[in-house]
Structures are given as C-alpha cells and as structure tokens.
Amino acid sequence: MSAVSDRLPTFPWDKLEPYKKTAAAHPDGIVDLSVGTPVDPVPELIQKALVAAADSPGYPTVWGTPELRDALTAWVERRLGARDVTHRHVLPIVGSKELVAWLPTQLGLGPGDKVAYPRLAYPTYEVGARLARAEYEVYDDPTTDLGPTDLKLLWLNSPSNPTGRVLSKEELTRTVAWAREHGVLIFSDECYIELGWEADPVSVLHPDVCGGSYEGIVSVHSLSKRSNLAGYRAAFLAGDPEVLGPLLQIRKHGGMMTSAPTQAAVVAALGDDTHVREQRERYLARRTALREALVRHGFRIEHSEASLYLWATREESCWDTVAHLADLGILVAPGDFYGTAGETFVRVALTATDERVAAAVARL
C-alpha cells in the first residue's frame, strides 16, 4: 500500500502556521480571516430542535426520517425553483466535505477514469480524485477546455470557493447540455447559493437550466454557512434519483448516517428563512467594511459577487501578501492553496465577529 504522502497533497493549512504565530503576536490579538468557519451563534429554534431530539438511542437511517426528506424536497422546490421533487431526489450527507472527498470512490471511479474541476477550486475535489486513484484535470470552461473521453465526473462550483464567482444561467445551461451530450455526470457544489451579493446564483436544478429533467445532474448543499451549522455536519444532495439511489445503498453499507438530533435540527433550519436573512445581513455588513478597507489599502478585488470570501490581490506573490497582513495581525489564506492560478491572490473570509472585523479594518 502506497504511503499517504504519495496519494495526497500536503495538507495546505499546515503551511500557514508560521504566519499564524506572527499574526497572533499582534498587541491587539489575531484577526483570523483564513478559514471560513462560522463564528455566530446557532439560531435558537435550531438548537431547540436538536435538544428536543437528544433522546435518540437508536441508529438513525442513512436516508433520514420522512420529516427530513419532506423538508429537503420542500426547500429545493421553494428556494431553487426545482419542480416535481420527490424523496427519491434527495439524500442527506454528513457534511459536504465528506461527500466531495469520497464521491469518486463511491461512484466506482478508479485508474483510467477522469474527474474535472475548476482551475481555481476547493482542494478537496483533487483529494477525492486521488483517493479513488482516478485522474484529474482542471478547466476554465468545461465545454471548450475538456475532452469528454474518459471524463466521468464534472464538478461545478457556483458560487465559487475561493473566488466568489457566480456562473450565469446561460453558462450552466450550456454546460449541462454539453455534459448530457457526452454522458458526463455533473455534481454542482452550490453550498454558498444563498449568499449572493452582486449576483443571484442559480442552481443546476432550475428548470431553465436543466429543462425540467434531473438526468445526469446532482447539486450539493450545506447548512454550515446559511445556518451556522458547520459543527453539526449537516448537508444534502438533490438531483438524479438514478445516481442518488446507488449512492444511498453504498452509504448504507458504509454507515454514513447523519445523527438523529442533527436531522431534526435540519428540519427546523430549512423551514425557517428569517434566520438566514439575519445572517446574510451580518455577512453583508462585514463584507462591505472589509472590501472598502482592502481597496483603500491597495488591493484589487476580483469576482467575489457571492460566497463568504473576498478574492483580493496586490499583484505580488500571495505569500508576500500573507506575510504583510500577518505583520498587521491579520491572517488570510494564500491563493495558491486553490491552484497555481491563484498565486498572486489571497482569500479573505468574512467569518469573524463584528469586533474582529472592525479591528482588521482599523489596522488596514
């Protein structure tokens, strides 16, 4: 068996540790804008639902309770504009990162099969391909950059992590048509879809994009950012039942079950839009303050029309920018974590308290 180091890249966040120490030495403390982990409280109605389901001694089911599936299908229709969504069209997962990392393996991909993902992307797409020992390729536009030969899985990511770029309805429609023509399965990572600022993100499940058919397409959704549930590991898939059915069976064998209290919390979270609007307002205020401060400091912001990040550059090595900001007590993520095309950018997360964001703005 090959060593882990032969199969996987270096865990990127380990490289940030020296800069984290520098930032932490600031007299007023560190402002950590590197990892996009929520810092605001879990809404009370969600906590109450979790507590009410705390006495759950039995094993939960991988497919979830009927109440959970009802909540998932209702949200997909209400929020994404999808139509005729049944329980067969949805599947709970144990956080979206677990799914991204293990999907190629669960789909049965291996040597000779190819996975493609955006040129600037969340590193776990590559990790998932490597774990399956599949090949991988990056693209700017899949319909022109990729040959369909041996391409089995195409990852879309809109809104993008790290850039915040949103794919237009026209881009999505063209990509879905291309993938179907060539028999390529699409998984669309839409975990930031409710966090559009200068654009209104559209799902691949919208009838204008998919033509009312879910054949060959699945979307990935998370409650980590919209509801501050990163600690709950709450996410789900929606789309082609011919894909989700076999995944359900595989995940049953693997024991990939969302805990019963978490399932109850998700039902409460997806049934309430008020807390999502309130959280959006918090992030919008932080985004506005940080964006203005970065621009005044000499940064250029690219894309960033959605998601929880600002994709920023000073037209220098990303590590020089990381070091510069660390000297100010501000920690950000270097752009080359997300691909060589990000080597002059940094990713600035909006996930810090109002007090810490204000401190960063003052230092900038």
CB 205 within 8 A of CB 219: yes
Cα separations in angstroms, 239 against 51, 185, 200, 215, 298: 31, 11, 21, 8, 43
- Tens of pLDDT, residue by residue over 316-326, are 999 999 999 99
CB 30 within 8 A of CB 23: yes
CB 240 within 8 A of CB 215: yes
CB 300 within 8 A of CB 82: no
Domain assignment present for residue 325? The answer is: yes
Q: Are strands 330-331 and 333-334 parallel, antiparallel or unpaired?
A: unpaired
Nearest-CA neighbor of 260 among 67, 41, 42? 67
Domain assignment present for residue 190? The answer is: yes
Regarding whether 301 and 193 lie in a shared domain, the answer is no
Domain assignment present for residue 264? The answer is: yes
Regarding whether 189 and 63 lie in a shared domain, the answer is yes
* pLDDT tens across the length of the chain (364 residues): 455 556 676 677 788 999 999 999 999 999 999 998 999 999 999 999 999 999 999 999 999 999 999 999 999 999 999 999 999 999 999 999 999 999 999 999 999 999 999 999 999 999 999 999 999 999 999 999 998 889 999 999 999 999 999 999 999 999 999 999 999 999 999 999 999 999 999 999 999 999 999 999 999 999 999 999 999 999 999 999 999 999 999 999 999 999 999 999 999 999 999 999 999 999 999 999 999 999 999 999 999 999 999 999 999 999 999 999 999 999 999 999 999 999 999 999 999 999 999 999 999 9
Regarding whether 280 and 359 lie in a shared domain, the answer is yes
CA diameter of the chain = 59
Domain boundary residue among 240, 270, 300? 270
The parent domain of residue 122 ranges over 54-270
Regarding whether 31 and 76 lie in a shared domain, the answer is no
Q: Which pLDDT does position 274 carry in this prediction?
A: 97
Regarding whether 68 and 36 lie in a shared domain, the answer is no
Regarding whether 170 and 71 lie in a shared domain, the answer is yes
Regarding whether 207 and 187 lie in a shared domain, the answer is yes
- Strand partners of residue 239: 218
Domain boundary residue among 250, 270, 290? 270
Q: Which pLDDT does position 162 carry in this prediction?
A: 97
Domain assignment present for residue 248? The answer is: yes
Domain assignment present for residue 315? The answer is: yes
Domain assignment present for residue 182? The answer is: yes
Regarding whether 284 and 260 lie in a shared domain, the answer is no
Regarding whether 252 and 116 lie in a shared domain, the answer is yes
Regarding whether 223 and 353 lie in a shared domain, the answer is no
Nearest-CA neighbor of 208 among 185, 182, 240, 174? 174
3-class secondary structure per residue, the chain: CCCHHHHCCCCHHHHHHHHHHHHHCCCCCCEECCCCCCCCCCCHHHHHHHHHCCCCCCCCCCCCCHHHHHHHHHHHHHHHCCCCCCHHHEEEECCHHHHHHHHHHHCCCCCCCEEEEECCCCCHHHHHHHHCCCEEEEECCHHHHCCCCCEEEEEEECCCCCCCCCCCHHHHHHHHHHHHHHCCEEEEECCCCCCECCCCCCCCCCHHHHCCCCCCEEEEEECCCCCCCHHHCCEEEEECHHHHHHHHHHHHHHCCCCCHHHHHHHHHHHCCCHHHHHHHHHHHHHHHHHHHHHHHCCCEEECCCECCEEEEECCCCHHHHHHHHHHCCEECEEHHHHCHHHCCEEEEECCCCHHHHHHHHHHC
Give how far the C-alpha of residue 50 lies from the chain's centroid of Cα atoms, to the nearest Å: 23
Q: What is the CATH classification number for the domain harbouring 265?
A: 3.40.640.10
Q: Which pLDDT does position 1 carry in this prediction?
A: 44
Q: What is the CATH classification number for the domain harbouring 294?
A: 3.90.1150.10
Domain assignment present for residue 46? The answer is: no
Give how many domains the chain has, as a whole number.
Answer: 2
Domain boundary residue among 238, 270, 302? 270
Regarding whether 281 and 242 lie in a shared domain, the answer is no
Regarding whether 185 and 111 lie in a shared domain, the answer is yes
Q: Which pLDDT does position 2 carry in this prediction?
A: 52
Domain assignment present for residue 48? The answer is: no
